[in-house]
Amino acid sequence: MDMRQMISSRSGPRIGVTYQVALFMLLVFLVVLFGILQPVFFSPDVLFNVTAIIGEIGIMALGMTFIITTGGIDLSVGYNLQLCAIVFGSVYAKTHSVAEAAALAVLCGTACGFLNGVIISRTKIPPLVTTLATLNLFRGISMIVAGSETYSGFPEGFKSISSTFLFDIVPIQFLYLLALFIVFNLYYTRGTLGRNLKGIGFNEKVLVFSGINTRRSLLFIYTLCGFMCSLAALIYLGRLSAATTSMGNDLNLQVITAVVLGGTSIMGGIGSVSGTFIGTLIIGVLRKGFTLLNFSGNIFNFTLGLILIVALIVFALLEERKKNAGRSGLT
Amino acid sequence: MKQKRVVTREFILGLIVLAFLGFMALTTNFSSRNGLFSMMLDVSPTIVGAIAMSLVIFTGNIDISAGTILGFVSFTAGELAVYGVPMILFVPAGILVGMLLAGLNGWITVTFKVPSIVVTLAMNMVHLGFYATFLRNSGWIENLGDNFTWFGRGMFFGVVPYIFIVSIVVAALFIFIMKYFRFGKALYAVGGNRQAAIYAGINPDSTVIKVYLVEGLLLGIAGLLKAVTRSDVLPSSFQGREMTFIAAAVVGGVNIMGGSGRLIGAVFGALLVYLLSTVMIYMGFQDYYQFALQGVIILIAVFITVTDFSAFRKKLDKTGPAQGES
């Protein structure tokens, strides 16, 4: 059987759908739960606000889904976002030109992603270690650039990129996210790249022997993830309107949790962009719900860490059961 | 016949550390009593922590929550000391907390077959959230009395701090264990080739859990060594220490993929990382340059250990008669 069949049967549609249905039910359950605890949660304003606060996480999670599908990981996304925001802030403070600042921020994010990609695809250093090291590098650079300064006072025109509402209710970030989601999902499910990524996560050697340039795919997805980080930084800045060295610190975990929760296997080879989308929504609902219940951000992070561990365990157990149920899908 | 090599990687690293020390002694006022003393104080927990991290890395795993485990250890010890518990009790309590937390990491990693880096990354967040949510004042304890700090401030002959002696003893003990005990060899075997380790009669799962427990023990010691030098404890201040440990380990030649490396290297690595950051402080760079520096150091060190330079070496050998490794 050919590679394509093998991969598609491994992430068989049946199991994928049931997992996603379960995930969706979890989302509905959370919405209802928070709605009962805090009735204001059901108001359209609050529900749409959830879709506004997940903009940056969702965008980075799309890039991260590609990476985790290959069995890699990018731990540096949060600090990449921070560095982009700092670059934007410092350039804007000097030139007062949004276009220049935004262009440099995007360039910086893409370059950071490219650095990760080059190291991971050209050397034998594992992605975990590479991005753990570049995480510190990015963090250090943004601290060196910014010191303890806070950049703010961005013009209204810039802020409107993430404070505009369609029909006065749908936040515009959500539309960006939807558009990107559709593109990524098509790329992932219909394109050659998506299939290659699953192949790399499944067995990279086989792909190399079939003449596929896996290095180029890897370089591309890490660069893409860096680019997504810079987009996320701009949207985040539009919403927060201040760039500091404390922003983005805890986004790493939220992004990884969204992807893993969405059913992308941390071991690679299996994944789903739509799952990531639902995972992102769940995280948004949790964050909003916790805010409404007056829980601190620390409780949210604590819960998120637990959720990530539980999601990893549940997914590992599901995999185990699938393996034990016989390899009928593979033969 | 294989003759024993004298000029090992670790030997060269040791020379570099010595050269560095000499250089700093000549060019700065580092050699003053203060400089050396603060080096011994600061580097002791790093040495023990680097050994702990190296043991885990030998098996092909890693622990990103090492820094926050240190926070729990020091909080436990500090909190007990506030209530007047003597050192003979709060030390084992702190070590026990370290072993429990690290053991949990190991257990989850092994039982559910999930990569340790993601588990411990999530744990890192859980720990930080725990401090801020459930501990009074985020776990900040101040005005710790002499019953807590006497050990950290005590020294032999007025120059060598007790805690430095402890870290050297721990290092020597574990170098000995790695050399002469089955456990030490099992770590390399599991990290180097899991399947071969199974055929050799080693149970990889229990080895990994054991190594995390040992790591927890060492982290307990490291956390206490750090905590007793100060009269206050702030658990969240230990966040990020794991990066120093990882940097020390990989600079010392511990292969991040597991299976090779030596503890003496990790000890030299700890010294070298400390000296590098001290040099930067002497040169007037601010504290946060160290984040960037550590990132770069880790990348370079890992690149050197994981890259196969044999093709390059062959090219060099072609110029002279072949110097086989026989």
Compare A52 and B102 and report the one with higher pLDDT.
Answer: B102
Locate B143 and state its tokens: 């005005």
Q: Are B242 and B89 in contact (CB under 8 A)?
A: no
Is residue A112's pLDDT more than 80? yes
Given pLDDT bands bounded at 50, 70 and 90, which one contains residue B309? low
Is residue A47's pLDDT more than 60? yes
* Contact between chains at A302 and B288 (C-beta distance less than 8 A): no
Mean pLDDT of A230-255: 84
Q: Which residue has the tokens 């500090």?
A: B78
Mean pLDDT of B51-57: 93
Q: Which of A185, A176, A182, A219 is nearest to A200 (CA)?
A: A219
Given pLDDT bands bounded at 50, 70 and 90, which one contains residue B253? confident
Quickly list DSSP for B262-288.
-HHHHHHHHHHHHHHHHHHHHTT--TT
Compare B181 and A319 and report the one with higher pLDDT.
Answer: B181
Supply the pLDDT for residue A328: 44
Report the amino acid identity of residue A74.
D
Considering CB atoms only, which of B108, B133, B288 is closest to A144?
B288
Q: Does residue B65 belong to the interface with chain A, where contact is any CB pair within 8 Å?
A: no
**Which ipTM score applies to this complex?**
0.77
Helix (H, G, I), strand (E, B) or coil at A273: helix
Is residue A53's pLDDT more than 90? no
Given pLDDT bands bounded at 50, 70 and 90, which one contains residue B262? confident
If you ran DSSP here, which 8-state letter would residue A152 be given?
Answer: E
Is residue A291's pLDDT more than 70? yes
Supply the pLDDT for residue A329: 43
Q: Are B290 and B269 in contact (CB under 8 A)?
A: no
Supply the pLDDT for residue B308: 67
Supply the pLDDT for residue B47: 93
Compare B37 and A305 and report the one with higher pLDDT.
Answer: A305
Supply the pLDDT for residue B140: 81
Q: How far is B210 from chain A (nearest CA, A)?
A: 21
Helix A273-292, helix A251-261: angle, nearest 10: 130
Q: Which of B218, B97, B231 is nearest to B151 (CA)?
A: B231
Considering CB atoms only, which of A123, A128, A134 is closest to B307?
A123
B71-87 pLDDT, tens digit each: 999 998 888 888 877 77
Q: State the number of CA atoms in the 13 A half-sphere of A65 facing the CB.
A: 32
Q: Which of B118, B94, B107 is nearest to B235 (CA)?
A: B94
Is residue A176's pLDDT more than 50? yes
Most confidently modeled range among B34-43, B176-185, B301-310: B176-185
Q: How far is B123 from chain A (nearest CA, A)?
A: 6
Q: Are B13 and B301 in contact (CB under 8 A)?
A: no
Is residue B45's pLDDT more than 70? yes
∠ CA(B84), CA(B88), CA(B93), 5° rounding? 85
Mean pLDDT of A19-41: 82
∠ CA(A140), CA(A119), CA(A125), 5° rounding? 100
Supply the pLDDT for residue B325: 42
> Looking at chain A from residue 228 to 257, which residues have their Cβ under 8 Å from any Cβ of chain B?
250, 252-253, 256-257
Which segments of chain A are extended strands (E)?
151-152, 165-166, 170-171, 242-243
> What separation in angstroms does the CA of B26 have from each of B19, B32, B117, B282, B295?
11, 11, 42, 13, 28
Q: How far is A169 from chain B (nearest CA, A)?
A: 33
Given pLDDT bands bounded at 50, 70 and 90, which one contains residue B5? low
Average pLDDT taken over every residue of chain A: 82
Is residue A5's pLDDT more than 60? no
* Contact between chains at B133 and A302 (C-beta distance less than 8 A): yes
Q: How far is B203 from chain A (nearest CA, A)?
A: 20
Cα-to-chain-centroid distance, residue A76: 11
Locate B174 and state its tokens: 């574990």
A193-242 pLDDT, tens digit each: 888 888 888 888 888 888 888 888 889 999 999 999 999 998 888 888 78
**Alpha carbons A63 and A311: distance in angstroms, whole number:** 20
**Alpha carbons A267 and A323: distance in angstroms, whole number:** 15
Q: Are B30 and B47 in contact (CB under 8 A)?
A: no
Average pLDDT taken over every residue of chain B: 83
B190-230 pLDDT, tens digit each: 988 888 888 988 898 999 999 999 999 999 999 988 888 88
Compare B231 and A233 and report the one with higher pLDDT.
Answer: A233
Q: Which residues are within 8 A (CB) of B108 and not within 5 positions of it... i.e. 6 or more apart? A: A309, A312, A313, B114, B119
Q: Best interface-test mutation with A: which of B65, B126, B236 has the largest number of A CBs within 10 A?
A: B126
Is residue A306's pLDDT more than 60? yes
Q: pTM value?
A: 0.83
Report the amino acid identity of residue A271.
G
Q: Does residue B309 belong to the interface with chain A, where contact is any CB pair within 8 Å?
A: no
Q: Which residue has the tokens 């702190």?
A: B94
Q: Does residue B112 belong to the interface with chain A, where contact is any CB pair within 8 Å?
A: yes
Supply the pLDDT for residue B2: 54
Q: Are A221 and A29 in contact (CB under 8 A)?
A: no
Q: Are B258 and B58 in contact (CB under 8 A)?
A: yes
Supply the pLDDT for residue B239: 83
Sort out which chain A residues have CB atoms less than 8 A from B123's CB and list them: 305, 309
> What separation in angstroms does the CA of B308 have from each of B106, B302, B305, B313?
30, 12, 8, 10
∠ CA(B143), CA(B147), CA(B148), 5° rounding? 60
Mean pLDDT of B30-41: 74
**Alpha carbons A155 and A95: distance in angstroms, whole number:** 13
Name the H helices within chain B.
Answer: 9-27, 33-58, 66-82, 87-112, 116-134, 146-153, 162-180, 182-192, 194-199, 204-227, 241-251, 263-282, 289-306, 310-317
Q: Best interface-test mutation with B: which of A73, A119, A125 has the largest number of B CBs within 10 A?
A: A125
Least confident stretch, A18-32, B55-69, B114-128, B134-148: B134-148
Supply the pLDDT for residue B326: 38
Supply the pLDDT for residue B323: 47
Q: How far is B274 from chain A (nearest CA, A)?
A: 17
Compare B21 and B316 and report the one with higher pLDDT.
Answer: B21
Q: Does residue A324 belong to the interface with chain B, where contact is any CB pair within 8 Å?
A: no
**Alpha carbons A265 and B169: distance in angstroms, whole number:** 43
Given pLDDT bands bounded at 50, 70 and 90, which one contains residue B97? very high
Cα-to-chain-centroid distance, residue A306: 18
Supply the pLDDT for residue B317: 64
* Contact between chains at B293 and A140 (C-beta distance less than 8 A): yes
Least confident stretch, A75-89, A231-245, B308-322: B308-322
Supply the pLDDT for residue B211: 94
Q: Does residue A287 belong to the interface with chain B, where contact is any CB pair within 8 Å?
A: no
Supply the pLDDT for residue B102: 93
Is residue B152's pLDDT more than 80? no
Mean pLDDT of A127-134: 86
Q: Which of B5, B11, B15 is nearest to B323 (CA)?
A: B5
